[in-house]
Chains A and B, each alone.
Chain A
């Protein structure tokens, strides 16, 4: 809810996500889909809508769309139709986009989102359909011209439309991250928002609680979760202000100006709400074999929600901890490799704590981790069997990150084995006490002085003394 001058307002949000399909070739042509190629070097005359060119559908793209539908628990429509959506824009060479209008390949589904308070909300999916991506228009390369690169034109997209079930920008962010996670698990979209393989259009309207839906505006082409959330709040605020001042909301397509922090109408789409959809006569209806769909279902990987439940059940992790680990499939797999035959809690802590920290600092994804699961596992083993202390382990880990060396090797090379020999520790303790009589005297009044002595002992043992033993002996000798 947002507070306006006239009371509380509810925001109603629906997201339309455009997810580029992971495939070698485009949806209806044999041109390549790689990101970052030289302009117009990955363009077929079919993509460029030359005279006489015709579309032929890529089977793998259909498969990816169906698998995604299965992954969001949706109905698969065994009979669907491709329609032409007609409008003029330079990045749309044919003057129409091949899409699906009334009979999409995937129907109603759902995505569960995990709220910070531990509850789960179910967000409805209205549909998922296949369509072509458009090319790219560059408006800043020349004073009077827009430059057009058609490399992206014709790449397969899955348009995933949510029901208007979201109520806050925060929910929208969680939903988007969850959807992205599912797509990455399935391998149907790489979810890279900076590169544009995942884009989000946001439908936002406001209403007083209990009132019917208000007029919505669509904010297009948001390319980060952060921008999605910002745009929602800014647009909701804009609409509330208008209504509270007695105005009405014009249904519009808008852009989010990230620099100015405001949304504004998109001029080129002003006059073109009539897309004149009709079934594409160059294509036939898409008819799917139920046995084929069943086969795809059987081979789906374990998805985030199921994996999280299993982690909680089998590893005794908390839902929150498990949630962090399953957000990325690669992380979950890393964790499981480390956790085999070890304390899962320790594995979880090391992965989400020190490992994530190191990877963030180095700008690496877990797939390119400088520390491999057996190495991290080895480190945990060394702590568990008392070879090193937890404190020393942090140093060893830092060294592993820098050099890629195995923990055992580092411990040996640097002589970091924990000192557990009571006699040696006792000697160090006695030395510390003897060297600091003033602090010994303070102990009775101020027990925190223990920490000082622990520090002294650690210094003289190069940190290798077993902390528990040090504490025990100090207390005995000081406390009397």
Chain B
């Protein structure tokens, strides 16, 4: 499955990773070779085979409705590259 530059650019945008114009072509080639190799999966007969939902054979555990966490602003903000007045600060989003 050959990926073209435009597709790689679109995926990179979806993934929010800046890829330089000059990198697009070699990256497309690399990703294409990986996807070509993965393509062999299509040869497997998977009719009526359900996709794996969990290796663990158990039911979803549930928690009680009790407050056990939070109240830890310093812990939550302590690693932030930029915080101000108790908030995380990011470049302004214009709606």
Binding site for B on A (CB under 8 A): 23-25, 29-32, 38-48, 56-62, 81, 88-90, 137-139, 141-150, 255, 266-268, 271-272, 274, 276, 279, 281, 283-287
In the bound complex, do residue B16 and residue A146 qualify as a contact, i.e. CB atoms below 8 Å apart? no
Q: Decide if the interface of chain A is mainly helix, strand, loop or mixed.
A: loop
Question: Most chain-B CB neighbours within 10 Å: which of A31, A138, A274?
Answer: A31
CB distance from A256 to the nearest CB of B (A): 11
Residues of chain A within 8 A (CB-CB) of B13 are 271
In the bound complex, do residue B69 and residue A40 qualify as a contact, i.e. CB atoms below 8 Å apart? no
Interface segment out of the listed B20-28, B39-47, B60-68: B60-68
Residues of chain A within 8 A (CB-CB) of B84 are 142, 145, 147
Nearest to A28 among chain B residues (CB) is: B63
In the bound complex, do residue B59 and residue A284 qualify as a contact, i.e. CB atoms below 8 Å apart? yes
In the bound complex, do residue A25 and residue B66 qualify as a contact, i.e. CB atoms below 8 Å apart? yes
* C-alpha gap A279/B54 in the complex (Å): 10
**Residue B18 CB within 8 A of the other chain:** no
* C-alpha gap A285/B13 in the complex (Å): 31
Sample (7) of A-B pairs whose CB atoms are under 8 Å apart: A30-B70, A38-B73, A45-B69, A57-B61, A146-B93, A147-B84, A271-B14
CB distance from A416 to the nearest CB of B (A): 52
Nearest to B51 among chain A residues (CB) is: A279
Residues of chain A within 8 A (CB-CB) of B14 are 271-272, 274, 276
Nearest to A138 among chain B residues (CB) is: B87
CB distance from A193 to the nearest CB of B (A): 20
Contact status of A46 and B69, CB under 8 A, knowing A279-B53, A284-B56, A284-B59 = yes
Residues of chain A within 8 A (CB-CB) of B87 are 39-40, 138, 141, 147-149
In the bound complex, do residue B53 and residue A88 qualify as a contact, i.e. CB atoms below 8 Å apart? no
* C-alpha gap A335/B83 in the complex (Å): 52
In the bound complex, do residue B70 and residue A31 qualify as a contact, i.e. CB atoms below 8 Å apart? yes
* C-alpha gap A81/B71 in the complex (Å): 31
In the bound complex, do residue A283 and residue B60 qualify as a contact, i.e. CB atoms below 8 Å apart? yes
Report the contact-size class of chain B (Cβ under 8 Å from the partner).
35 or more
Question: Most chain-A CB neighbours within 10 Å: which of B66, B72, B89, B95?
Answer: B95
* C-alpha gap A43/B87 in the complex (Å): 12
* C-alpha gap A287/B61 in the complex (Å): 10
* C-alpha gap A25/B68 in the complex (Å): 8
Residues of chain B within 8 A (CB-CB) of A30 are 63, 66-70
* C-alpha gap A138/B88 in the complex (Å): 10
Question: Most chain-A CB neighbours within 10 Å: which of B66, B72, B76?
Answer: B76
* C-alpha gap A15/B88 in the complex (Å): 32
Contact status of A146 and B89, CB under 8 A, knowing A31-B67, A59-B64, A266-B95 = yes
In the bound complex, do residue A139 and residue B92 qualify as a contact, i.e. CB atoms below 8 Å apart? yes
In the bound complex, do residue B69 and residue A44 qualify as a contact, i.e. CB atoms below 8 Å apart? yes
Q: Told that A38-B86, A81-B53 touch, could you supply 4 new A-B pairs with CB distance under 8 A?
A: A39-B85, A59-B63, A145-B82, A284-B58
Residues of chain A within 8 A (CB-CB) of B91 are 144-146
Contact status of A88 and B16, CB under 8 A, knowing A23-B65, A40-B76 = yes
Residues of chain B within 8 A (CB-CB) of A272 are 14
In the bound complex, do residue A142 and residue B65 qualify as a contact, i.e. CB atoms below 8 Å apart? no
**Residue B77 CB within 8 A of the other chain:** yes
In the bound complex, do residue A42 and residue B71 qualify as a contact, i.e. CB atoms below 8 Å apart? yes
In the bound complex, do residue A48 and residue B65 qualify as a contact, i.e. CB atoms below 8 Å apart? no
**Residue B81 CB within 8 A of the other chain:** no
In the bound complex, do residue A255 and residue B95 qualify as a contact, i.e. CB atoms below 8 Å apart? yes
Residues of chain B within 8 A (CB-CB) of A284 are 53-54, 56, 58-60
* C-alpha gap A30/B86 in the complex (Å): 20
Nearest to B94 among chain A residues (CB) is: A267
**Residue B38 CB within 8 A of the other chain:** no
Residues of chain A within 8 A (CB-CB) of B61 are 56-57
In the bound complex, do residue A267 and residue B95 qualify as a contact, i.e. CB atoms below 8 Å apart? yes
Nearest to A23 among chain B residues (CB) is: B65
* C-alpha gap A43/B76 in the complex (Å): 7
CB distance from A307 to the nearest CB of B (A): 28
In the bound complex, do residue B76 and residue A48 qualify as a contact, i.e. CB atoms below 8 Å apart? yes
The 9 A-B pairs with the shortest beta carbon distances in the complex, nearest first, are A30-B68, A31-B70, A60-B65, A147-B87, A30-B69, A59-B62, A44-B69, A148-B88, A284-B60
Residues of chain A within 8 A (CB-CB) of B88 are 40, 90, 147-148, 150
**Residue B90 CB within 8 A of the other chain:** yes
* C-alpha gap A28/B58 in the complex (Å): 18
CB distance from A148 to the nearest CB of B (A): 4
Residues of chain B within 8 A (CB-CB) of A44 are 69-70, 72
* C-alpha gap A148/B66 in the complex (Å): 25
Residues of chain A within 8 A (CB-CB) of B89 are 142, 145-148
* C-alpha gap A421/B24 in the complex (Å): 102
In the bound complex, do residue B92 and residue A144 qualify as a contact, i.e. CB atoms below 8 Å apart? yes
Residues of chain B within 8 A (CB-CB) of A60 are 64-65
In the bound complex, do residue A137 and residue B62 qualify as a contact, i.e. CB atoms below 8 Å apart? no
Question: Of A31, A57, A145, A286, which is within 8 A of B69 by CB?
Answer: A31
In the bound complex, do residue A24 and residue B94 qualify as a contact, i.e. CB atoms below 8 Å apart? no
In the bound complex, do residue B71 and residue A41 qualify as a contact, i.e. CB atoms below 8 Å apart? yes
* C-alpha gap A148/B80 in the complex (Å): 12
Residues of chain A within 8 A (CB-CB) of B53 are 81, 279, 284-285
